[in-house]
Amino acid sequence: MDMSVRRLSLSASFALISRRSRGTDPLEGQRGRPAARRLAAGFAVILALAACNKEEGKANNPPNAAAGRPEVGVVTLHPQSVAITAELPGRTSASLVAEVRPQVSGIIQKRLFEEGGEVKAGDPLYKIDPASYQAAYDSALADLQRAEAAVPSAQAKVERYQGLAKQNAVSKQDLDDATAAFAQAKADVAAAKAAVQTAKINLDYTTITAPISGRIDKSSLTEGALVTANQDTLLTTIRTLDPINVDVTQSSTNLLNLRQAIAAGKVKLSGSNVSVKLKLENGTIYPSAGHLEFSESYVSQTTGTYAMRAEFPNRDRLLLPGMYVRAIVEEGVAPNSFLIPQRAVSRNTKGEAVAWFIDADGKAQQRVLSVSSSVGNNWLVDSGVGDNDRVIVEGTQLVRAGQPVSPVEVVIDDTTGEVRSRNESGSISGEQPSAEAGRG
């Protein structure tokens, strides 16, 4: 009930009681009721209205509001070592890729693998008709035997002429001719052996084998198709999926900022083996951590970025080439740094990052912060804070500069950025966490 209405009701009740006490109530004579009963009823109405008025006054003026000390949730800040990470976009790619082509011509007789399955290096994939290559191999073997058969005769002739030449029974020219014939016979044997080896290689090429281990794609040709050596058309492709690579890009600006922070001593490198985590397209974190393989030594003139490659184990084949992912690269560690929950930071009219703090006198004050980067649901702050500072994370809409406040220590969930628990029970009056969490 409105206060003005209640005051009017009280005034009317007092007037009515006064008239009845003087005997001027026009209803007194009509109803014939005793004046004492009407007087008692009037006092009861007054007491009831006064009690309602008192209760409403209590509701509209809580103890804290009356005292001018709104209750706020705070977090006490302490310096800590913070892992500096960069979340970079990238795509997965196979660590090895082999395009399978025939190295000899012929008709495909058989396909010896299951499409989409796993193969190992050396496994047979296709069988090409070997008849002509087998005949060429047999012919090369026969030529080798013929060449080898000529060697003993030429060797014996040289040995015989050498003895006769000592006795001047044959001319020097005849000995030279015999020696040359012997050398020619040995060269014919070597050439025949090479021909046999070539024929054997071509014969082996009629069985096309897997050059690497991995998952094989579908076959582009079927049995009975004619293929030629080193043709442009692929027979199939094999990709090694374990391990798998992730190619990411980093801006040259971030690279400069990181190196300057390292030079200034704000960031320390975590070692040569840089750890990398992976965030998948659906937002989940890949269970196995990877490591940074290399980064390119130049910056693209068109995009202003440079490429990096990370390698991840992929035993379950969860990652496939071409997936869009985000790599979380651990760049270094920032010692003696401060993290402020993002829900506590907003922007002023100048676009500066600001937050509300409680000073030594228990009063609220707003400070301008120097924010360098985000770490999870927190901001990494370079300046504007100190050890044991208390930053307000709940109830900032209730405070004004220089106003005394009643702080309540709360705990922020690092995963969600929301308040997980507080030291005192009860919620903050008028609190709207979602409005504060999106600022900064």
357-370 residue pLDDT tens:
999 889 999 999 98
What domain range is 350 assigned to? 71-80+335-437
396 found inside a domain: yes
Same domain, 265 and 145: no
Predicted confidence band at 27 (pLDDT cuts at 50, 70, 90)?
Answer: very low
Question: What CATH number does residue 209 fall under?
Answer: 2.40.50.100
What is the number of domains present in the chain? 4
Residue 53 lies in a domain: yes
Return the minimum-mean-pLDDT range out of 225-234, 243-252, 266-275, 327-336: 266-275
Per-residue pLDDT band for 138 (boundaries 50, 70, 90) equals very high
Out of 298, 333, 368, a domain closes at 333
Give the pLDDT of residue 40: 52
pLDDT band (50, 70, 90) for residue 62: very low
Residue 272 confidence (pLDDT)? 63
**Helices 172-204, 131-166: crossing angle, 10 deg rounding:** 160
Is residue 309 domain-shared with residue 243, that is, in the same domain?
Answer: yes
In terms of domains, do 141 and 210 share one?
yes
Evaluated on CA atoms 310, 311, 313, 317, the torsion sign reads positive
Rounded to the nearest 5 degrees, what angle is found at the Cα of 134, between the Cα atoms of 133 and 136? 60
Give the CB-side neighbour count of residue 235, counting CA atoms within 13 A. Answer: 29
User: Given this model, what pLDDT does residue 143 score?
Assistant: 94
Under the banding of pLDDT at 50, 70 and 90, the label for residue 112 is very high
254 and 209, same domain (yes or no): no
- pLDDT level of residue 106 (50, 70, 90 thresholds): very high
Q: Are 120 and 213 in contact (CB under 8 A)?
A: yes
- Clarify whether residues 317 and 339 are in a common domain: no
Mean pLDDT over 308-333 rounds to 90
Q: Identify whether the C-beta of residue 111 lies closer than 8 Å to the C-beta of residue 223.
A: yes
Residue bearing tokens 């770490």: 375
Instruction: Compute the mean pLDDT over every residue in the chain, rounded to the nearest whole number.
Output: 81
The tokens 């600006």 sit on which residue?
Answer: 253
Q: What is the pLDDT, as a whole number, of residue 44?
A: 54
The answer to whether residue 66 is domain-embedded is no
**For 171-213, what is each residue's pLDDT tens digit?**
889 888 999 999 999 999 999 999 999 999 999 999 999 999 9
For position 330, what pLDDT does the model report?
81
Q: Residue 387, Cβ neighbours under 10 Å: how many?
A: 10
421 pLDDT band, cuts 50/70/90, is: confident
For residue 53, what pLDDT is reported? 52
Q: What is the pLDDT of residue 333?
A: 82
**65 inside domain:** no
Boundary of a domain, candidates 204, 230, 256: 230
Residues 111 and 222 in one domain: yes
Least confident piece of the model among 41-45, 158-162, 233-237, 346-350:
41-45
Residue 354 belongs to a domain with what CATH number?
Answer: 2.40.420.20
Indicate if the pLDDT at residue 332 is higher than 50.
Answer: yes
Which one is predicted more confidently, 242 or 170?
A: 242
The CATH code of the domain that includes 297 is 2.40.30.170
Same domain, 401 and 412: yes
Q: Are 76 and 114 part of one and the same domain?
A: no
Rounded mean pLDDT, 399-421? 86
pLDDT value, residue 404: 92
Q: Predicted confidence band at 163 (pLDDT cuts at 50, 70, 90)?
A: confident
At 381-403, the pLDDT tens digits run 888 888 999 999 998 888 888 89
117 and 213, same domain (yes or no) = yes
pLDDT per residue over 243-283, tens digit each?
999 999 888 887 787 777 777 776 666 666 778 899 999 98
CB atoms within 10 A of CB 126: 24
Which residue, of 201, 230, 259, is where some domain finishes?
Answer: 230
Q: Per the domain annotation, does 207 fall within a domain?
A: yes
Does position 13 have pLDDT exceeding 60, yes or no?
no
Tell me what pLDDT residue 396 has: 87
**297 is a domain residue:** yes
Q: Are residues 202 and 314 in the same domain?
A: no
Identify whether residues 154 and 190 lie together within a single domain.
yes
Q: Is residue 354 part of a domain?
A: yes
Q: What pLDDT was estimated at residue 424?
A: 52
- Separation of alpha carbons 361 and 368, rounded Å: 19
Query: Sorting pLDDT into bands at 50, 70 and 90, what band is 68?
Result: low
Claim to verify: residue 113 and residue 225 sit in the same structural domain: yes
Contacts of 153 (CB under 8 A, 6+ apart): 185
On whether residue 406 sits in a domain, the answer given is yes
